[in-house]
Chains A and B, each alone.
Chain A
């Protein structure tokens, strides 16, 4: 089942001589239960693409369907409501409302959708407990570590059972260990709860938790990696191959510089 589908999407900034084509005729789709990483060098159009998929930026051309609805045709107000209902967000920073507790931050999305009933509160609590924040439910963001904050953000992105979950560099401010923890749990939940997940990252090591890597270059998709071994090789985690379940077909990983793959060398 399709969660998100982008068809021939283009984004041009500015006009005339100064026009910049940030995304050039890109098509991609992400099924529910699938976690995809969007990678590529700086300036390749990742953020622009994500902003369009999120309904934050209108494509210059092309269509984007989420939950079967064409978000390009919606008014500003409709898109805002749509985001609140169908999309979950985890940003790089400034994710949380500073004056709300961890639990309240997660509940915000339920409140927004009129689903803050007993069951909803319980789910929010359980999700935070599951993310290891059982002791931190009533702490405010400034009393949480960076990793804890990002885990709250992940709970916030998932609690309202969105169709699509989008993450923009969710590990940028975390140390390696925390980054792995956060993305691993994120991936687990996306698979478990059957969401379509997309994560923009520049940290290739994080790719080991995704099902597909879409690499962008100069506004185009330059490469799509679906092979488990290649993903792990890209992530520089080939030796972990055995520990990883479904899509692995058991072949030994290739050695090499992951960046070399990315740059198509």
Chain B
């Protein structure tokens, strides 16, 4: 009975219900876009760290997990390698450079030095890993591939500004890896010694090879907490973080994410109010009709379920249309736009959006339940 009435009412008032479904659809698009943007920005920020083939990142002590401030020298790395339970350690250095495509605009890239064969070096999906600690071979990530259209064997030109002088380096692409953006920039990976020679403030003569951090791969990846404490106890002057802690410490990362999730929450909240308001107005307009239905014998349960079913139908319809629209839109976005709609974020957002109706509708359903059948006789108690 409830579903019969719910369906008939929606069907015979298609325009009105389509309107509110459209509003829900637009809110869905907005929420999903913000979610996708949050996800896109987050991964543009943390992708490299997230995909590291190690469990722990080692920073210089008292640098607040800042990759820019931290310095880890070779001797420290040697100490790290001696810690019981450590499988491998790789030095990683971060810098920035510009890629100069032939006849195109320059592209800012993250220029990252890694130890070939050690944690920190990304796995290639085409071509080869880096082989020697020196040499002018590089691996580039998908961001670079898409922007430049490079292939294995191509030469790329890197521009570094040293002091006031611009220097150019031609490097050979030997391997391609998936998206490994770091700090919103597509990434170029070079052997650490090459990196140290090329980077703007590198190559100081005399001293040992210094990177920003070291990436540690554990023999037993389940022992993260214990190993973190052990390394900090056994190696002087270091601070150890797991990957999540490390990327959350990236400049602006947490602030940005919380801004976006606040926006998301408010959009969601507006959705609840709009849907709630719509159904509440409907309820107020239907007081006499509902009183009549209750008088002629429809139970409170039936009346409530009818309204609830309508709310669910209209809400679900709106979310479905909105989600489908968003997916269609985001699928065609260029990679340069940081919009990433992963299954998990989309699903979480969609589930939350499906709750808009029930949350907003609860007031109107309660109001419906309160209507007295006596209303049918123009009376109220």
Q: B373, A94: Cβ atoms under 8 Å?
A: no
Give B306 Cβ to nearest chain A Cβ, in Å: 11
Residue of A nearest to B288 (CB): A94
Q: List chain A residues, Cβ under 8 A from B1.
A: 111-112
Is the Cβ of B297 less than 8 Å from the Cβ of A50?
no
The answer for the CA separation of A140 and B11 in the assembled complex, in Å, is 13
Q: Give the chain A neighbours of B294 by CB distance below 8 A.
A: 80
Which residues of B lie under 8 Å from residue A77 when comparing CB positions?
299
Contact between B376 and A91, CB atoms less than 8 A apart: yes
Chain A residues, CB < 8 A from B295: 54, 56, 83, 89, 91
**A80 engages B379 (CB within 8 Å):** no
Measured CB to CB, the nearest residue on chain A to B11 is A99
Q: Does B296 contact A (CB under 8 A)?
A: yes
Q: How far is the CB of A160 from chain B (nearest CB, A)?
A: 9
CA distance A77 to B13 in the complex (A): 30
Contacts of B376 in A (CB 8 A): 56, 89, 91, 94, 168
Contact residues, A147-172 vs B (CB, 8 A)? 156, 168
0 or 1 for each of B344-381: is its CB under 8 Å from A? (1 = yes): 00000000000000000000000000000110111101
Would you give the shortest CB distance from A169 to chain B, in whole angstroms?
9
A92 proximal to B (CB < 8 A): yes
Task: Give Cα A98 to B292, complex, Å.
Answer: 12
Taking CB atoms, residues of chain A closer than 8 Å to B291 are: 94
Question: With an 8 A cutoff between CB atoms, is B298 at the interface?
Answer: yes
A5 CB to closest chain B CB, in angstroms?
Answer: 21
- With contacts A47-B379, A50-B377, A99-B13 taken as known, whether A80 is within 8 angstroms of B299 at the C-beta atoms is yes
Judge if A34 is at the interface, Cβ distance under 8 Å.
Answer: no
What is the CA–CA distance of A206 and B156 in the complex, to the nearest angstrom?
100
**Are A91 and B374 closer than 8 Å at their CB atoms?**
no
A–B pairs, 12, beta carbons within 8 Å: A47-B378, A48-B379, A51-B377, A56-B374, A56-B376, A57-B374, A80-B300, A89-B295, A91-B292, A97-B289, A98-B289, A140-B12
**With A85-B297, A94-B292, A112-B297 already in contact, 5 other A-B pairs whose C-beta atoms are closer than 8 Å:** A57-B374, A83-B295, A89-B292, A94-B376, A111-B4
Q: What residues of chain A have their CB less than 8 Å away from a CB belonging to chain B?
A: 47-48, 50-51, 54, 56-57, 77, 80-85, 87, 89, 91-95, 97-100, 104, 108-109, 111-112, 140, 156, 168
